[in-house]
Structure 1
Amino acid sequence: MPGARLLFMAALLVGAGAYAQTAVVVASIPPIEAPAEQTEGTPEGADGPAPTTASTDLSEDALKVPSRTAAPPIADARPLKPEDDLIARAWLDGEGHLAIGPRNQPRRLTIDVPLQNKLTAILRRYQTPYGAVVALDPKTGRVWAMAEHSEARPDLRGLAVKAIFPAASVFKLVTTSALLVAGLTPETTECSHGGKRKLTEAQLKDSEDDHACLTLSDAFAFSANAIFAKLTSRHLTADALRTWAERFHFNRPIDFAEPTEPSLCAVPPSGLPLAKTGAGFGDVFLSPLHGAAIAAMVANRGLWRDPVLFADMPLAEPTRVMDEDDAAALVEMMAETVKVGTARRVFHERGFQLTDAAGKTGTLADKRPFRDYSWFVGFAPKDDPKVAVAAVIVNDYDWRIRASWLGREAMRLFLEAEAKKARAAEKAMAAELAATKLASPSGSDAPASGTREASRP
């Protein structure tokens, strides 16, 4: 299998060549590069710096999923109402926390102000046409950052809670979970050909051209579209895929302090449309907040927590989405994505490495007008997650950063700040201990010289 993996990597890199021909990294600032002509998808190797059926509470009208090709929802996106934009309304209290409400009865937000400011500055610095990143505590759901910016539409607030972005290959998290329950394992092997940009009916059948053979784990790490389409066609029904989409909270409301659009997913009944949906080419839309919550669920080995924005909000009991063993298998596949797969280059960048992470990339493009969507959802560290993130960037032909780079920076900045706090706390504790010893009289714990201990009975 290593040989097949190398062959697939070579094909992936060739397909991504238009992205990487002139890439030069200087001080971790990604270069501006022009993507190639795209149809349904973009090679994900270019993402670098350059169960029971869940119920739904949505009305029938709310479940009308827009067409990704005919009516992409980003074109008609409306800004969040000012009264609902809690972060924009918030003010800094005397201790440096964001709060809303009257000054004599403030409600603090969970936002980490330095992290929020740094991520917002990144999005503005690189003039992202549309961009958002959410970071939260995977163990509690408390949101540490909801940064966003739109150079194309400066008035468009609320990108972090809007489900206007095609989920692309992030949906492979759902498909993989369904495949594991259907009896496949990370070592299940399938062969295919093509599929980097377009999927056809012929790719669902065995062929003499099927020279790319990968395990499910490697297919996930390298986001092998044709293999996922084939596996979906052979092992999943529409009901099974829909069930798992709903378990991952698609087509369901998310309870959150700001009005959050539900992430919508249309599951075709059968054939190539169903297979394409399983591979990430369907009419499936995701909000960054939802993406971060999904990453946190996997980090928690299958336990879902609703995201929380108010510091005084009591935490609800988590609900189990998937079996713990299947979630652990998904964690390992996400780790392979960072270690050797589509996010490898970004997470191994010299001087900015974050190798103990797990994630999933996604890329997709609209043709007219051209929009390049890129996603990253993930968490770090892999075995003791401290932060879960989702990042989405929508670029035009001239682009500066993509989502994998932004997601890595969100996790790296958070973890570095936490490590700095820990070092400062250790230093303060050591200083306090030293001061305590200095304040104690020398030898005060021992009998004074020339005295005799009290006689024993």
Structure 2
Amino acid sequence: MEPSITEEQARMLIVLVRVGFYCGVAWLLWKLIFKDAYLLKFIKPVKNPKLKGVRLVSWVLVFAFIAILAYQATWQLGGFLRPRFVGFMQKHDRRKFNPALQIQRGIIADRNGRALAENRKANGTVKRHYPLGPATVHLVGYFDPVFGVTGLEQSADSLLMGLDDVNADDWESFGQRLITRKDLPQGKNLKLTVDSKLQQGIFDKLVQGRYDKKSKPAGGKPYRGAIVVLDVRDGALLAACSAPGFDPNQMTRKTFSKSQSGSPLFNRALHGLYPPGSVFKVAIGSYYLEKAMLGTGFPLTIDCGPEFRTPDGKGIVRDLSYYSYQARGKKWPGFGKIDLGKAIEQSCNVYFAQVGVTIGKDGFDWLRRLLRFDQSLTLYKGIVGSTASAKSRFPELNPDDSFSMALMGIGQGELQVTPLHMAMVAACVANQGMLMQPRLTFDKPMEELGRAMSPRTSAFMRDMMARVVTDGTARKAFDGFEMSVGGKTGSAQNPTGDSHAWFIGFAPLERPQIAISVVVENGGYGGSTAAPIARHALELAARHGLIRP
């Protein structure tokens, strides 16, 4: 389309309209109030004090109304020179002649340049399109004039519009180009560390799963849960899926209805908070081993009978085998005297309940700080917002409450964590004890958050997690798997139905490259529900070159 006026003419027109408007308002007020005193003719002396107050308020409202009109006029006459106005017009004004709709937002692409969010022209306007649909909606978000903007579309909005580093002169030129429709502005692209093929593949695997018909409360329905995959070496996010999802290309008001089954709008990967259950034993076990090797006197071999009664007399902790034996009319003898490696391999609750009581309140406080359980984790920070995880809930403990410490030791009680955070725990073990800041873009340099455990401790824990896969609770899920893997299963009890199924791990064992966290809400046993999904994710990662020999 040929511009109707030139940029220089647009500049002069804007200036003239502004000056003319303000001069006109000032002249009118001066003439009516002071020169001709036209308005004063209608003002008669009022003796009643109450009426004087009413008249004063009336004049204040009149001038306030005039000020509002003047302010609105500045937006309408010179609004395209203001970032906020352009953003508002682009999001909420769908009229065909709206110049803001001609802005070409930048593309959001995966690590290989495949589009995750792109532009498509329709009926003279530019509409956002998402090639992977529900697979990436919780991470990428959406940009829609009716339903707003979320996810990376929101936190990277300034960059995607090309307005992240402009000065006043640039803004003026930007506004003139919108008005004249000459050389329409082009936003900047955003390249993510995510691999779209891995993202799509693991999302499909997650949503194809179905609960057992007897499962509570979602019998026979598709899985609800999340998967997070990280590069252990630099913290790059390779995939982050949340199910159920929704298609941002086909949103309606029904999409946002509270009656929607499974809360499809909720980003479980970053914001879901779950009791971690036995996968937390990797974190507390690493801390306990570190302290034991420093000569604190913590015993690594512990007698694990059929149950553990807490010193405060408030509760009893038992292993899952206790109840399976009981169902068969037998008595569970316990594991006997076992070391930390055997306790990790067999996921012994009696062992880790005693570990929780041993490290006490001070130990849990240290663990919270070391692994950043007290922090929200920012993956991307833009000018107007950020993409970050929820903060895990790591309660303050009473030093005399040994039952709460025992429950925390097995990942239960009031403890709640995000899938992202548990993927970071697995990555920390795989990365010789160094905790990395998760990141979503390549332009953000990798950042070390600090050493959470010594290389020696992490090496021992890697070997223990390898035994979980070869001889322990994840053995069936990884039977015949060609790649060496370290992992930990978990079944976290919750008050709303069947236990949540967990798996965290890393691969390959000899030279770890990626870490993974899987949670399936009400999925039951981690070894039978979450671990097979993790195996599929690792197979996909190797197939797409994210794991190299």
Aligned residues: 326
| Conserved? CA contact 1:299–1:331, under 8 Å | yes
Question: Taking structure 1 as reference, are residues 146 and 371 closer, same or farther at Cα in structure 2, changes over 3 Å only?
Answer: same
**Could you give the per-residue CA deviations for residues 328-384 of structure 1, whole angstroms, max 9, x where no partner exists?**
111111111111111111111x4xx155111111112334x3132011111100121
Deviation for aligned residue 1:392: 0.6
1:415 and 2:542 are equivalent in the alignment: yes
Question: Taking structure 1 as reference, are residues 361 and 317 closer, same or farther at Cα in structure 2, changes over 3 Å only?
Answer: same
Query: What aligned pairs does 1:273-352 form with structure 2 within 5 A after superposition?
Result: 273-348=404-479, 350=480
* Residues in 1 aligned to 2:526 and 2:478: alpha-carbon distance in whole angstroms: 19
* Residues in 2 aligned to 1:131 and 1:303: alpha-carbon distance in whole angstroms: 27
Q: 208, 216, 241: which is aligned to 2:364?
A: 241
* Residues in 2 aligned to 1:341 and 1:129: alpha-carbon distance in whole angstroms: 25
**Could you give the per-residue CA deviations for residues 133-152 of structure 1, whole angstroms, max 9, x where no partner exists?**
01111101111111121284
Equivalent in the alignment of 1:162: 271
Deviation for aligned residue 1:203: 6.2
| Conserved? CA contact 1:178–1:241, under 8 Å | no
Question: Taking structure 1 as reference, are residues 405 and 267 closer, same or farther at Cα in structure 2, changes over 3 Å only?
Answer: farther
Q: 257, 268, 284: which is aligned to 1:175?
A: 284
Equivalent in the alignment of 1:148: 242
* Residues in 2 aligned to 1:354 and 1:195: alpha-carbon distance in whole angstroms: 38
Equivalent in the alignment of 1:106: 189
Question: Taking structure 1 as reference, are residues 370 and 90 closer, same or farther at Cα in structure 2, changes over 3 Å only?
Answer: farther
Q: Which segment drifts farther, 183-192 or 311-320?
A: 183-192
Q: 470, 481, 484: which is aligned to 1:356?
A: 484
> 3-state DSSP class of the match of 1:395?
coil
Question: Taking structure 1 as reference, are residues 111 and 209 closer, same or farther at Cα in structure 2, changes over 3 Å only?
Answer: closer
> 3-state DSSP class of the match of 2:343?
helix
Equivalent in the alignment of 2:164: none
**Could you give the per-residue CA deviations for residues 421-449 of structure 1, whole angstroms, max 9, x where no partner exists?**
98xxxxxxxxxxxxxxxxxxxxxxxxxxx
* Residues in 1 aligned to 2:403 and 2:525: alpha-carbon distance in whole angstroms: 33
Question: Taking structure 1 as reference, are residues 400 and 292 closer, same or farther at Cα in structure 2, changes over 3 Å only?
Answer: closer
| Conserved? CA contact 2:371–2:452, under 8 Å | yes
Deviation for aligned residue 1:314: 1.9
* Residues in 1 aligned to 2:475 and 2:468: alpha-carbon distance in whole angstroms: 7
| Conserved? CA contact 2:502–2:530, under 8 Å | yes
Question: Taking structure 1 as reference, are residues 130 and 188 closer, same or farther at Cα in structure 2, changes over 3 Å only?
Answer: same
Identity of aligned residues (%): 26
Equivalent in the alignment of 2:345: 221
* Residues in 1 aligned to 2:285 and 2:548: alpha-carbon distance in whole angstroms: 37
* Residues in 1 aligned to 2:485 and 2:524: alpha-carbon distance in whole angstroms: 30
Q: How large is the RMSD of aligned CA atoms in angstroms?
A: 3.4
Aligned amino acid, residue 237 of structure 1: G
1:192 and 2:321 are equivalent in the alignment: no
Question: Taking structure 1 as reference, are residues 201 and 209 closer, same or farther at Cα in structure 2, changes over 3 Å only?
Answer: farther
Aligned amino acid, residue 120 of structure 1: F
Aligned amino acid, residue 260 of structure 1: S
Structure 2 segments unaligned to the other structure (5+ residues): 1-90, 92-105, 118-152, 154-159, 162-185, 211-221, 246-260, 319-331, 381-386
Deviation for aligned residue 1:267: 4.6
Question: Taking structure 1 as reference, are residues 328 and 341 closer, same or farther at Cα in structure 2, changes over 3 Å only?
Answer: same
Deviation for aligned residue 1:230: 2.0
Which has the larger Rg?
2
> 3-state DSSP class of the match of 1:286?
coil
**Could you give the per-residue CA deviations for residues 202-256 of structure 1, whole angstroms, max 9, x where no partner exists?**
669xxx96553221111011110011112332x3121112211221111222222
**Could you give the per-residue CA deviations for residues 26-75 of structure 1, whole angstroms, max 9, x where no partner exists?**
xxxxxxxxxxxxxxxxxxxxxxxxxxxxxxxxxxxxxxxxxxxxxxxxxx
Aligned amino acid, residue 281 of structure 2: K
Equivalent in the alignment of 2:510: 383
Equivalent in the alignment of 1:265: 394
* Residues in 2 aligned to 1:383 and 1:244: alpha-carbon distance in whole angstroms: 27
Question: Taking structure 1 as reference, are residues 170 and 210 closer, same or farther at Cα in structure 2, changes over 3 Å only?
Answer: closer
More helix by percentage: 2
> 3-state DSSP class of the match of 1:236?
helix
Q: Which segment drifts farther, 400-409 or 335-344?
A: 400-409
Equivalent in the alignment of 1:252: 375
* Residues in 1 aligned to 2:415 and 2:107: alpha-carbon distance in whole angstroms: 32
1:212 and 2:336 are equivalent in the alignment: yes
* Residues in 2 aligned to 1:357 and 1:245: alpha-carbon distance in whole angstroms: 27
| Conserved? CA contact 2:232–2:515, under 8 Å | yes
1:119 and 2:202 are equivalent in the alignment: yes
Deviation for aligned residue 1:282: 2.2
> 3-state DSSP class of the match of 2:517?
strand
Aligned amino acid, residue 188 of structure 1: L
* Residues in 1 aligned to 2:293 and 2:533: alpha-carbon distance in whole angstroms: 33
Question: Taking structure 1 as reference, are residues 137 and 400 closer, same or farther at Cα in structure 2, changes over 3 Å only?
Answer: closer
- Normalising by structure 1, we get a TM-score of 0.64
Equivalent in the alignment of 2:175: none
The structure showing larger relative contact order (alpha-carbon pairs under 8 Å, at least 6 residues apart) is 1
Deviation for aligned residue 1:184: 5.9
Equivalent in the alignment of 1:46: none
Equivalent in the alignment of 1:394: 521
| Conserved? CA contact 1:337–1:343, under 8 Å | yes
